[in-house]
Every structure is written in structure tokens, then in C-alpha cells.
Amino acid sequence: MEKTVNEWFNELPDGYRGRALNNAHYSLINTYDSTMAEAICRAFSWSGTPEGHDFWSDVKDHYAKGTPLPPLPEHANIPMSVFLDYELRSSLWASWIGWDWAQNISAKYFVWKVLRKYARYKRSKYIEQAIKQNSQNQ
């Protein structure tokens, strides 16, 4: 059954879902795939993510071969440079920008995008920690 990458990723378990949706390239989120494994393969570059290539390969293998899901990685503090590196490497058009006025515009865009994603990441880590503490106190 064909579904969009977004629909497939929304079926992932908690923790995996948010990571996959955050990593998915915006131009591929509404493309159609036949399986979860196919969606995971095509939606983003695994090596450019905070989780890394091996993690996403294991997640894909879970859906393709029935192997166990890998444990969720603990990222206590990812530097903003990792976010910037990921955004530049996953952008289809960043490498086409020359050394002219378009480079300044694209630099401003990537700074804005990275600051926004980094703030979202920090906020999600704070909420995740608060939920864990709250559940441990009960």
C-alpha cells in the first residue's frame, strides 16, 4: 500500500517518529513509498543526521528484515554546528550557490533555519526531561 513518507513516519513508535520527521527532507515528505523501509531509505541522508548512519540502517532493517529496533540514542547536548552541517548537506540547492549576492541570501536563510531547529531541539529535550522526571515521581 502506497503512503506518503509523512504517513509512514507517523506510524513509527514514539522517539523514532520525531527523529524521522525532523530529519526528513521537506521536498520528500509528501512523496509516496510502498513500505516503511523504503520511506526511511529515501527521506533523508542517514549520515547527516544526529543519530548517524548505523542507527537508521538498523531502523530500516527492523522494517525490512524484522530485526529488533535499535535503542534510541541519548543526545545530551548536540552542538549547533551539527545542525548547520546537516542543513547544508541535506539541501539540494546549497551547493549550486556561487560567490555572489545569492550566497549572502542563502547564508541568512540557513542561519535562520538552524537557529529555529536548534531552539526546537532544545525545547524538546527540556520537555522530554520534564516528562521523565514527572513519570519517575509518580
Surface-to-core class of residue 68, CB atoms within 10 Å of its CB (0-12 exposed, 13-18 middle, 19+ buried): exposed
Average of per-residue pLDDT across 9-36: 90
pLDDT in tens, 118-128: 888 878 877 88
Distance CA(117)–CA(22), nearest Å, equals: 9
- CB atoms near residue 31 (< 10 Å): 15
Main-chain dihedrals φ then ψ at residue 3, nearest 5 degrees: -140, 160
Single-letter code of the amino acid located at 43? A
pTM given for the model = 0.58
Distance CA(20)–CA(91), nearest Å, equals: 16
pLDDT in tens, 58-109: 999 999 999 999 998 876 566 677 777 777 777 766 666 666 777 777 778 8
Predicted pLDDT of residue 62: 96
Distance CA(54)–CA(59), nearest Å, equals: 9
Predicted pLDDT of residue 59: 96
Surface-to-core class of residue 126, CB atoms within 10 Å of its CB (0-12 exposed, 13-18 middle, 19+ buried): exposed
Distance CA(57)–CA(52), nearest Å, equals: 9
Domain ranges of the chain: 3-65, 80-137
